[in-house]
């Protein structure tokens, strides 16, 4: 049996770092949204035991597993199911780019295997497994725009986000999330930080744009600042680095504006450019 699923990327419309925890993580407050840029995950089930992974362009060393393979193994271990899982990943989401591609792959494997093996785990149980793999994995299983706190695993749905379009620009820089957080100088957290409320206008989305991690990543990689400036010059009503970088997104009110901006001469030819929109719905996405 084999089935293909789509694993969407995400952006952070806002990211506040509230403090460092004793376990080495940071307490966060983030507004996260899935977008229509996808990796394609093909899952195969067999009677042979073990988990195998293939991903074109990614050379895994002996005894090294990526997060998608670890997700499959974790689910099999929890359930005691004796099945073989073959994972083939067609990567389209840039790696180490602030878009959560690895976490989305892991979440998609958990949800896909839950469906294919008819395990019947509810979303909350899958999220408990997911958080052991990575802080963003529960968000992708949650499947809705969310206000994420804790290490990113405490999720509350956010409704009313406007129907905007985004132009994503990746300058081809791989950024280490661990390095960014390790070099962040914490200041006093914002007071009375509340879940944003929206009523559907693009201006409301632009008003919340904020990322504490820009203060670390942009000085180290000035090209990210150049991308922000280029997107704003192309007509974006707002622009922000997603996650720890290096991808930047610009906000546009309609598809036409976004497509024109994507062709702007101010965007360098060696930058990767994507025109995307928010992803609606929950659960796995058929590929």
Catalytic residue, from 10, 153, 212, 228: name it: 10
At 197 the pLDDT is 84
Q: To the nearest whole percent, how much of the chain has pLDDT over 70?
A: 97
Q: pLDDT band at residue 6, thresholds of 50, 70 and 90?
A: very high
136 is catalytic: yes
Taking residues 234-258, what's their average pLDDT?
A: 97
Task: Find where tokens 């994972």 sit.
Answer: 87
- What mean pLDDT is reported for the chain? 93
At 198 the pLDDT is 86
Q: Please, what sign has the CA dihedral across residues 223, 229, 234, 236?
A: positive
Q: pLDDT band at residue 61, thresholds of 50, 70 and 90?
A: low
- Of 31, 36, 35, nearest in space to 198 by CA: 31
At 136 the pLDDT is 95
CATH 2.60.120.10 assigned to 2-158: no
Lowest mean pLDDT: which of 54-63, 79-88, 214-223? 54-63
At 63 the pLDDT is 54
Question: Which regions of the chain carry the CATH code 3.30.70.890?
Answer: 165-276
Catalytic residue, from 23, 118, 128, 136: name it: 136
CATH annotation of 165-276: 3.30.70.890
Taking residues 216-238, what's their average pLDDT?
A: 97
At 98 the pLDDT is 96
Question: What secondary structure letter does DSSP report for 64?
Answer: -
Most confident of 53-62, 180-189, 193-202, 209-218: 209-218
Pairing of strands 2-20, 165-170: unpaired
**Cβ-contact 35, 7 below 8 angstroms:** no
Maximum CA extent, the chain? 56
pLDDT of 150-207, one tens digit each? 999 999 999 999 999 999 999 999 999 999 999 998 877 777 788 888 878 889 899 9
pLDDT of 74-126, one tens digit each? 999 999 999 999 999 999 999 999 999 999 999 999 999 999 999 999 999 99
Taking residues 257-272, what's their average pLDDT?
A: 96
- More confident position, 141 or 185: 141
Taking residues 265-274, what's their average pLDDT?
A: 95
**CA–CA separation, 269 and 152 (whole Å):** 34
Question: Which regions of the chain carry the CATH code 3.30.230.10?
Answer: 2-158
């Amino acid at each position: 049996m084999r089935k293909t699923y789509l694993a969407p990327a995400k952006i952070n419309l806002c990211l506040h770092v509230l403090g460092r925890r004793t376990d080495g993580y940071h307490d966060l407050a983030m507004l996260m949204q899935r977008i229509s840029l996808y990796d394609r995950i093909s899952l195969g089930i067999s009677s042979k035991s073990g988990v195998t992974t293939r991903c074109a362009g990614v050379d895994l060393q002996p005894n090294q597993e990526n997060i998608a393979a670890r997700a499959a193994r974790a689910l099999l271990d929890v359930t005691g199911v004796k099945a073989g899982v073959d994972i083939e990943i067609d990567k389209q989401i840039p790696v180490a780019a602030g878009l959560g591609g690895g976490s989305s792959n892991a979440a998609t494997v958990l949800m896909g295997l839950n469906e294919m093996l008819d395990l019947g785990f509810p979303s909350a149980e899958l999220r408990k497994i997911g958080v052991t793999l990575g802080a963003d994995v529960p968000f992708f299983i949650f499947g809705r725009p969310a206000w994420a706190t804790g290490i990113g695993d405490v999720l509350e749905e956010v409704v009313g986000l406007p129907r905007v379009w985004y132009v994503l620009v990746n300058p081809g820089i791989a950024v280490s999330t661990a390095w960014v957080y390790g070099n962040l100088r914490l200041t006093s957290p914002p007071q009375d930080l509340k879940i944003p409320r929206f009523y559907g206008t693009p201006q409301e989305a632009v008003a919340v744009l904020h990322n504490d991690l820009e203060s670390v990543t942009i000085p180290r990689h000035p090209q990210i600042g150049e991308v922000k400036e280029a997107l704003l010059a192309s007509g974006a009503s707002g622009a922000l680095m997603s996650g720890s970088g290096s991808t930047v997104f610009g906000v546009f009110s309609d598809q036409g504006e976004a497509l024109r901006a994507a062709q702007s001469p101010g965007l360098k030819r060696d930058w990767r450019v994507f025109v995307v929109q928010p992803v609606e719905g929950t659960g796995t996405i058929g590929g």
